[in-house]
């Protein structure tokens, strides 16, 4: 394949890369998938005494809040409505969000604009620990385009637009081939035999394996040599099996004549492969020039999951349209909140002061209003205490949303039951006719514009519509033909250039 052919091929597999990104996204997408637009949001489900928070979803209750995740200080790198600490290390990315929600019991009071909810605003804090391993498939789906046998290829434009993801690939021991775009892995020397600078061979019954770069390669060639020796004496019935290099590297065991036979391995002169170089199926290479093997998408993901990236890969993945799976947050908050004080003046001039203390418990991603203690004290005109009461109430769960708009305004359009019309629906039959239209012609041309001079008695043509219309007809046909050709180019499949 020529260089031109390779780039033509990559232009097509780049398009397939977005399909791969969508496919990988489908593997990870769930109710908690987070993208650039919803990373700073909490979904809020409030049910009586409990409030459950989930990530990445618009609030489902009017008491929810849209929370920007980026702090305003602390050395964070800002990007959109999210941020990641530049010095973050470790296997996870820790993110924090904060918000305030109405929490408490139902009643007739309207405290803090809660709309029928007797309670307080609960300052909730939530934190997420997202393993980089769950980001890896999303990042790979962004940069990888799929070629033959699932090889990951990265187009030059994608590589330039994703520097932190590409850096992650390099941290995982991968490198993009600048000529082909394929993501490759350098072959480790441990995968091949290292030459000591000498050649080796096995002799038996007048036959030899020939010089080999290592004892292992000489032993691997021994069964063919033994087979040739038996064939030379007319014994094709003898079965020759495999071979095994014995410890020490000086003997090779071959399964022959119904049992094993140990052959000596001899050292010859200098090898064509220098000492310290590696013998590979592609030739003899130094450690610095070992061949690279193209990696599949799955292999790319595995390589990314073995190392931690630059934390800024988080924002880059979101910016490129990635959908990252999020766990439920770990919610924290105060165990007790004092409600507002409410004072009522009685007819006899005394006053009653009431205040409720709200007790809470947080577990996982749920806040529970465990109990409410209401203290009521009546003071005489001289401020002496007339009476004092303490009432503790355990809130109960409620199936209905306390802020259900249909419960408040049942007659609105979205909530009211509309009348169903009765009787037969009137019908009318009409006949519609169609007439053919000329593709390259049709229509009519306006008459020319004339001007008559009363002084000279002559008439002058101001606008020659007849001539202009004569040019319009072929121009229309040309425009239609160009549109047809452009449509053909859009649907025409690509062609790979080979030599």
String of DSSP letters for 299-310: HHHHHHHTS---
Q: Residues 397-405: what's their mean pLDDT?
A: 47
Residues linked to residue 78 through DSSP beta bridges, in sequence order? 83
With vertex at residue 24, the alpha carbon angle to CA 22 and CA 29, rounded to the nearest 5 degrees, is 85
CB of 475 closer than 8 Å to CB of 443: no
Q: Is the pLDDT of residue 359 over 80?
A: yes
pLDDT at 176 exceeding the cut of 90: yes
Minimum mean pLDDT among 21-30, 134-143, 277-286, 467-476: which range?
21-30
Instruction: State if pTM tops 0.75.
Output: no
Mean pLDDT of the chain, nearest integer: 75
| pLDDT at 435 (0 to 100) | 56
Say whether 380 sits in a helix, a strand or coil: coil
**473 versus 364: which is more confidently predicted?**
364
pLDDT tens profile 427-479: 666 666 655 555 555 556 777 777 666 566 666 676 777 777 777 777 777 88
The mean pLDDT of 12-38, rounded to a whole number, is 43
pLDDT tens per residue, range 212-250: 999 999 999 999 999 999 999 999 999 999 999 999 989
pLDDT tens-digit map of 291-306:
788 999 999 999 999 9
Specify the DSSP class assigned to residue 71. Answer: -
* Residues pairing with 34 in the sheet: 324
**Pure H helices in 309-404:** 313-319
Give the 3-state secondary structure of residue 63: coil
Instruction: State the Cα–Cα distance between residues 409 and 417, nearest whole angstrom.
Output: 12
Bigger pLDDT: 266 or 413? 266
Q: Average pLDDT, stretch 32-37?
A: 80
Rounded Cα distance, 76 and 78, in Å: 6
37 vs 426: CA distance, rounded Å: 48
Q: How far apart are CA 289 and CA 214, in angstroms?
A: 19
Residue 254's φ and ψ, nearest 5 degrees, are: -120, 135
To the nearest 10°, the Cα dihedral for 447, 453, 456, 459? 0
**Secondary element (H or E) of residue 96:** strand 92-106
Mean pLDDT of 144-153: 88
Give residue 75's pLDDT. 40
Distance between CA atoms of residues 15 and 21, nearest Å: 10
From 39-53, 109-123, 471-485, the region with the lowest mean pLDDT: 109-123
**Confidence band, pLDDT 50/70/90 cuts, at residue 193:** confident
Instruction: Supply the DSSP string of 42-58, one letter for each residue.
Output: EEEEEETTEEEEEESS-
């Amino acid at each position: 394949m020529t260089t031109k052919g390779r780039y033509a091929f990559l232009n097509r597999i780049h398009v397939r890369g977005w399909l791969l990104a969508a496919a990988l996204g489908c593997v990870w997408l769930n109710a908690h998938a987070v993208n650039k637009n919803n990373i700073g949001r909490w979904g809020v489900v409030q049910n009586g005494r409990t409030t459950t928070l989930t990530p990445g979803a618009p609030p489902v209750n009017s008491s929810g809040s849209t929370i920007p995740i980026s702090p305003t200080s602390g050395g964070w790198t800002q990007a959109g409505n999210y941020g990641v600490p530049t010095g973050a290390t470790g296997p996870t990315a820790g993110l924090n969000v904060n918000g305030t929600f109405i929490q408490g019991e139902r009643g007739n009071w309207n405290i803090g604009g809660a709309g029928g909810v007797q309670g307080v605003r609960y300052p909730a804090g939530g934190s997420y620990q997202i393993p980089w391993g769950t980001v890896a498939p999303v990042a790979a789906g962004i940069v990888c385009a799929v070629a033959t046998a699932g090889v990951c290829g990265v187009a030059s434009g994608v590589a330039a637009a994703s520097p932190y993801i590409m850096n992650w690939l390099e941290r995982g021991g991968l490198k993009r081939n600048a000529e082909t775009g394929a993501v490759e892995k350098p072959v480790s020397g441990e995968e091949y035999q290292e030459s000591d600078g000498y050649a080796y061979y096995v002799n038996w019954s007048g036959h030899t394996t020939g010089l080999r770069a290592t004892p292992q390669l000489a032993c691997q060639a021994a069964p063919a040599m033994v087979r040739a020796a038996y064939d030379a004496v007319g014994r094709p019935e003898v079965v020759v099996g495999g071979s095994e290099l014995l410890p020490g590297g000086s003997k090779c065991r071959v399964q022959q004549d119904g049992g094993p036979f140990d052959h000596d391995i001899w050292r010859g002169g200098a090898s064509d492969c220098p000492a310290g170089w590696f013998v590979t199926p592609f030739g003899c290479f130094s450690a610095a020039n070992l061949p690279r093997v193209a990696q599949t998408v799955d292999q790319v993901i595995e390589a990314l999951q073995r190392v931690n990236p630059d934390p800024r890969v988080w924002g880059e993945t979101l910016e490129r349209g990635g959908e990252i799976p999020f766990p439920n947050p770990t919610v924290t908050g105060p165990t007790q909140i004092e409600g507002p004080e409410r004072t009522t003046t009685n007819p006899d001039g005394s006053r009653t002061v009431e205040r409720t203390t709200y007790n809470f418990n947080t577990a996982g991603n749920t806040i529970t209003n465990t109990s409410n203690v209401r203290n009521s004290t009546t003071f005489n005109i001289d401020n002496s205490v007339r009476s004092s009461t303490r009432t503790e109430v355990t809130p109960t769960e409620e199936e209905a949303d306390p802020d259900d708009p249909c419960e408040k305004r049942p007659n609105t359009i979205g909530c009211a039951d509309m009348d169903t019309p009765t009787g037969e629906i009137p019908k009318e039959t009409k006949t519609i006719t169609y007439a053919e239209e000329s593709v390259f012609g049709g229509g009519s041309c306006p008459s020319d514009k004339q001007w008559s001079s009363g002084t000279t008695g002559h008439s002058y043509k101001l606008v020659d519509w007849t001539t202009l219309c004569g040019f319009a007809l072929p121009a229309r046909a040309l425009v239609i033909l160009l549109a047809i050709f452009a449509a053909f180019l859009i649907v025409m499949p690509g062609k790979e250039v080979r030599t």
